[in-house]
A and B are shown apart, each in its own frame.
Chain A
């Protein structure tokens, strides 16, 4: 173990002295922020452009009601009164942008159609937005027809078919509703996302183990190193070293991204972060790393260099991306078949578990325990296999091992 720590220390030092690594470490969070702002930049532009000036030719004295409705519905409208006739409006509209004319008079009420003229560049959803005006106009119409306020209230309430509150299905729905509306999700999602982020970033840093192991062969230093320690020491040292580097990467990223995120979304992340659930999340993340790291270090030892990786090695490198397949089904139904399946497959289990637990009010403890047991057993198996592969592979210079050869080493 002492030797492993020396190797770990060396791997950390070697990477921290490497400019490429340092640049990558700082650039990663900057990219994350960059993409976040890119989205907002485009989103923001659209919103500003959408403000439409709406001129209302009002003969029924409804302008104040209309203005109030626009206001309360947050429509991106600027409403103004106008005395222009339809002909004049048609002319006017040709030279303006983001403008609309509405004609509300006795005639339009009789026909049930409010004539609207819009300039060419008006927001495509304008007509949909305008439908909201029917409510105050209809109300006025009914009043004119002589309905009392009480009658008016009854008519405008409408009629709804609804399941009785004591039916079982309704009870379930209410529960879901409260779950969604309460504060609770943030308390689970924030630590879940945090752990997911840590896992991804240490797993991705861990992918460098791949390179590190094959570099050892490429530089032909493996045998010199192995004259001082055992292959297992070397392998463990690499796994530990890259774990620390991954954690370092996570913290640098979080230190840069979190403040920006808190500022933009106005969520106090730290308040939600340190909850008891975090401990389990972090455990899952670390187990996930250990599994992928042992796979990477073993397979890395079978390659002379990353650029010549065969299909088999390439496929292994894709393994950490497997949980992404499960994101949609799990979000759709965190207790569904796909979610459970993902929980029990070792390669996807850490990712899927984090995703499910962040979205579930009631944790399926039995499933969690079963999947953790599967995970721990897989790690144990993968570490053993990696040890066998590493021991032979690291000293095989000049060519990549074939899956058949690797199988032979495992059986040795």
Chain B
């Protein structure tokens, strides 16, 4: 897989505040690369720097196949976080205008527009004015606009925000299919469950700095330790005595036991004492969602895990 986009040592400050601090990553052809982080972490700023809407203070952004330091805008599809469409124009007009801005042949654009409208359940809506569409329909049109010119690199900033589950599923499938067909996709999102399902690699950013970067499975194995949730009437002290326990959290009627790295799940289960009150028991890995929350709330759970293991 070749890197379509390379970001190296990116720095950006607003006034004296460093918003992006020495960030580097790549997006490869045919992969979905997720950029994650809490609000204000610097995701959209990073993306705006890539799109040339903002200019980095330091660092290098390169697009492979385009060595002359210009942004190949016509080869990039972009769905910004803050998005909308002109209100008083019809769907086909705006799609063709945006395709024209990308220098994409109009007859092909028209074909693709009709194809996508049909796919997204908007068949026959091409002559309808944008302000007559529902919010969800509008978002579909925005998505079509970002892919109508067959981009090599597709940048999606919070593509799922405000979508109903059905449309979410539709977008997910379409994004996956685009990646399978060779499009490089940079996706920013809050919705961890979706990212976890979709992304091949991820870059987690907090306060402008890199926290995690790597292959989704590797990240999960590396950072996502096992945790055991037990519903029952037990004492927290007792649970803390169990082997390989990092810490225990008590919630309404259940305890969550965070385990150290690299335990053998079956072996560990066998260590549970007979007198333990178990009405329900679950053993699973810490989800991306929890890692995300930890980072956002500065619990530094993962570092603890690493430190105690080291």
Interface residues of A (CB under 8 A from B): 3, 6, 10, 13-14, 17-18, 215, 219-221, 223-230, 395, 397
Chain A residues in 8 Å Cβ range of B101 = 3, 6, 225, 228-229
Chain A residues in 8 Å Cβ range of B83 = 220-221, 223-224
Whose C-beta in chain B lies nearest to the C-beta of A227?
Answer: B78
A-B contact pairs, 25 of them (CB 8 A): A6-B100, A6-B101, A14-B88, A14-B89, A14-B93, A17-B93, A18-B88, A215-B87, A219-B84, A221-B84, A221-B85, A223-B53, A223-B78, A223-B80, A223-B82, A224-B78, A224-B80, A224-B85, A224-B142, A225-B98, A226-B51, A227-B53, A227-B73, A228-B73, A395-B53
- Residue among B80, B85, B101, B145 with the highest chain A CB neighbour number at 10 A: B101
A228 engages B80 (CB within 8 Å): no
B97 within 8 Å of A (CB atoms):
yes
Interface residues of B in 37-95 (CB under 8 A from A): 51-53, 73-74, 76, 78-80, 82-89, 93
- Residue among A14, A18, A223 with the highest chain B CB neighbour number at 10 A: A223
A14 engages B74 (CB within 8 Å): no
Q: What's the nearest-Cβ distance from chain B to residue A193, in Å?
A: 35
A17 engages B89 (CB within 8 Å): yes
Chain B residues in 8 Å Cβ range of A14 = 86, 88-89, 93
Provide the bound-state CA to CA distance between A228 and B99, in Å: 9
B102 within 8 Å of A (CB atoms):
yes
Provide the bound-state CA to CA distance between A228 and B104, in Å: 11
| Chain B 132-150 per-residue mask, 1 if CB under 8 angstroms from chain A, else 0 | 0000000000100110000
B53 engages A226 (CB within 8 Å): yes
Known: A227-B76, A227-B80. A219 touches B100 (CB 8 A): no
Q: What's the nearest-Cβ distance from chain A to residue B116, in Å?
A: 16
Q: What's the nearest-Cβ distance from chain B to residue A306, in Å?
A: 14
Whose C-beta in chain A lies nearest to the C-beta of B149?
Answer: A228
Whose C-beta in chain A lies nearest to the C-beta of B142?
Answer: A224
Given A225-B101, A227-B53, A227-B73, 17 new contacts (CB under 8 A) = A3-B101, A6-B100, A13-B93, A14-B88, A14-B89, A18-B88, A215-B87, A220-B84, A221-B83, A221-B84, A223-B83, A224-B78, A224-B80, A224-B98, A227-B80, A228-B74, A229-B101
Chain A residues in 8 Å Cβ range of B88 = 14, 18
Chain A residues in 8 Å Cβ range of B86 = 14, 215, 219, 221
Chain B residues in 8 Å Cβ range of A225 = 98, 101
Number of B residues, CB within 8 Å of A: 26
Interface residues of B (CB under 8 A from A): 51-53, 73-74, 76, 78-80, 82-89, 93, 97-98, 100-102, 142, 145-146
- Residue among A17, A223, A227, A397 with the highest chain B CB neighbour number at 10 A: A227
Whose C-beta in chain B lies nearest to the C-beta of A230?
Answer: B52
Chain A residues in 8 Å Cβ range of B53 = 223, 226-227, 395
Chain A residues in 8 Å Cβ range of B73 = 227-229
Provide the bound-state CA to CA distance between A13 and B97, in Å: 11
Whose C-beta in chain B lies nearest to the C-beta of A14?
Answer: B89
Provide the bound-state CA to CA distance between A181 and B49, in Å: 68
A228 engages B102 (CB within 8 Å): yes
Whose C-beta in chain B lies nearest to the C-beta of A231?
Answer: B53
Q: What's the nearest-Cβ distance from chain A to residue B104, in Å?
A: 10
Q: Give the top 9 A-B pairs by smallest Cβ distance, nearest first.
A: A220-B84, A227-B78, A228-B101, A223-B80, A219-B84, A220-B82, A10-B97, A221-B84, A228-B73
Chain B residues in 8 Å Cβ range of A226 = 51, 53
Chain B residues in 8 Å Cβ range of A227 = 51, 53, 73, 76, 78, 80
Provide the bound-state CA to CA distance between A220 and B82, in Å: 6
Whose C-beta in chain A lies nearest to the C-beta of B15?
Answer: A408
- Residue among A3, A221, A230, A395 with the highest chain B CB neighbour number at 10 A: A221
Q: What's the nearest-Cβ distance from chain B to residue A307, in Å?
A: 15
Whose C-beta in chain A lies nearest to the C-beta of B155?
Answer: A227
Q: What's the nearest-Cβ distance from chain A to residue B145, in Å?
A: 7
Chain A residues in 8 Å Cβ range of B79 = 224
B87 engages A219 (CB within 8 Å): yes
Q: What's the nearest-Cβ distance from chain A to residue B251, in Å?
A: 38
Partner of B145, one of A219, A220, A224: A224
Chain A residues in 8 Å Cβ range of B145 = 224
Provide the bound-state CA to CA distance between A395 and B53, in Å: 9
Provide the bound-state CA to CA distance between A14 and B86, in Å: 10
Provide the bound-state CA to CA distance between A352 and B88, in Å: 38
Q: What's the nearest-Cβ distance from chain A to residue B90, in Å?
A: 8
Q: What's the nearest-Cβ distance from chain B to residue A164, in Å?
A: 73
Provide the bound-state CA to CA distance between A229 and B73, in Å: 7
B82 engages A397 (CB within 8 Å): yes
Chain A residues in 8 Å Cβ range of B80 = 223-224, 227
Provide the bound-state CA to CA distance between A18 and B129, in Å: 11
Provide the bound-state CA to CA distance between A226 and B51, in Å: 9
Provide the bound-state CA to CA distance between A221 and B83, in Å: 6
Whose C-beta in chain B lies nearest to the C-beta of A228?
Answer: B101
Chain A residues in 8 Å Cβ range of B76 = 227
Whose C-beta in chain A lies nearest to the C-beta of B52?
Answer: A230
Whose C-beta in chain B lies nearest to the C-beta of A394?
Answer: B53
Chain A residues in 8 Å Cβ range of B52 = 230
Provide the bound-state CA to CA distance between A225 and B101, in Å: 8
Chain B residues in 8 Å Cβ range of A215 = 86-87
Chain A residues in 8 Å Cβ range of B85 = 219, 221, 224
